[in-house]
Amino acid sequence: MKERAWKIVAVAAFLILWETTAKLGIFSPFIFPSISGSILWGSQNWPRLLIAVIDTGRLLLIGLTFGTMIGLIIGGLSVFSRKVEYIVEAFVSVFQPLPSICLLPFAILWFGLGNKPIIFIVTFATMWPMILSSMTGFSTITTIYKDVGAMYGLKGASLARYIMIPAALPYIITGFRISWAHAWRTIISAELLFGAVGSAGGLGWVIYVNRYMLNPEGMIAAIGVISFIGIFMENVLLEKIETETIKKWGMKS
């Protein structure tokens, strides 16, 4: 609790310092807008921000779901075959360091204009950390767990569901947290740079439009929403999932 309080104090101090600097007029309001002005813009345009959040969240959820499922399946299959593991590791080493946003122009050529290119690059950004984490998690499962499952007649999908996935859960959740962060940055970047190829209504597109309208308050308001969603996901929702699973089961202190 004390750690969280210090974090809140640090953020509050930063916002106060920013607001004070903006009010003193040290810099032009076009390059250093006030926090209060950004909050006022957000309160006046909350329907637009809400639509943007829904639009971004919808595409993110689709891409994150595809990437997570692909990562789990490929990571699980690699455990049962050394050849598959070597092939997967080769592809991970090639594509894991590659920023997925650079594939967006190709995705537009492959899938055309619309939401599909953005969903594709979000899936691409999500699957590689998930593959790597699930491979690590599944490979660390001791043979004792598998033998116990075999004694109860578990094999194939049932063995994966009741033995392998629960045993590898700490690695899977860690991989999902990394995948979520990659997906979130990717979709915002895609909307910011090429928002028109999607529905042109996401949070990145709000920043893009307000930049052309010379409205820094709108840009800061959208950035604030992006930051708030990221903090909520990382420090509230995902932390809650971790607490109710691996920490509750004694798999992590």
Structural domain boundaries in the chain: 36-247
What global pTM score does this model have? 0.84
With CA atoms as reference, report the closest residue to 173 among 222, 121, 237, 105.
237
Spans in the chain with pLDDT lower than 50: 198-199
CATH topology of domain 36-247: MetI-like fold (1.10.3720)
- Model confidence over 206-235: pLDDT tens digits? 998 888 888 999 999 999 999 999 888 887
- What pLDDT does residue 221 have? 94
- What pLDDT does residue 198 have? 47
